[in-house]
Amino acid sequence: MDKLKLLFICSMNLHRSKTAEEKFRNVFETRSKGLSDKLVKEDDLDWADVVLVMEDDHRKELGLRFPQKYLEKRILCLDVPDIYLYNSPPLVEVLEERMDRYFTKDGKPKY
C-alpha cells in the first residue's frame, strides 16, 4: 500500500510544519509549506491526500486562497500554537499527541 501524502502547513514553515514534515516522513510521504513564507501553492494541495494545518486560522486562510481545493481536500487541524521552536522536544511531543487523534502508528487514518 502506498504511503499517505501529508502536507503540513503553518504560518512561516520554520518551526511547526517543518518539524512535522521531518518527524513523520518515515510513516508518510510528507511536505511542508507556509502561508506567509515558503508559500503553499495549488500544486501542493493537488499532491496531498490530507492537509494538516497547525491552527484553525490556517484552515480559514486556505479556504480564502483556494476555495475549490478547500472543498475537495480533507483538511485537519492539529491545534498546535506558535510557541515552539523547530524540532524542540515539547513540539515533537505535542505533534505526536495530535497526530494520534487522526492516524494509527503505522500510518492508517482513524477517520
Contact 4, 50 (CB under 8 A): yes
> Residue 55 carries which side chain, given as an amino acid letter?
E
What is the band of 78 on the pLDDT scale with cuts at 50, 70, 90? very high
Tell me: the pLDDT tens digits for 52-74? Answer: 999 999 999 999 999 999 999 99
> Residue 65 carries which side chain, given as an amino acid letter?
R
Q: Is residue 26 part of a domain?
A: yes
pLDDT over 90 (residue 1): no
Q: Is residue 65 part of a domain?
A: yes
pLDDT for the residue numbered 111: 84
What is the band of 38 on the pLDDT scale with cuts at 50, 70, 90? confident
Q: Is residue 43 part of a domain?
A: yes
Which three three-digit cell numbers place residue 42?
Answer: 495549488
> Alpha-carbon torsion 80, 100, 31, 92, what sign?
positive
Its domain, for residue 60, covers 5-102
What is the rounded average pLDDT for all residues in the chain?
96
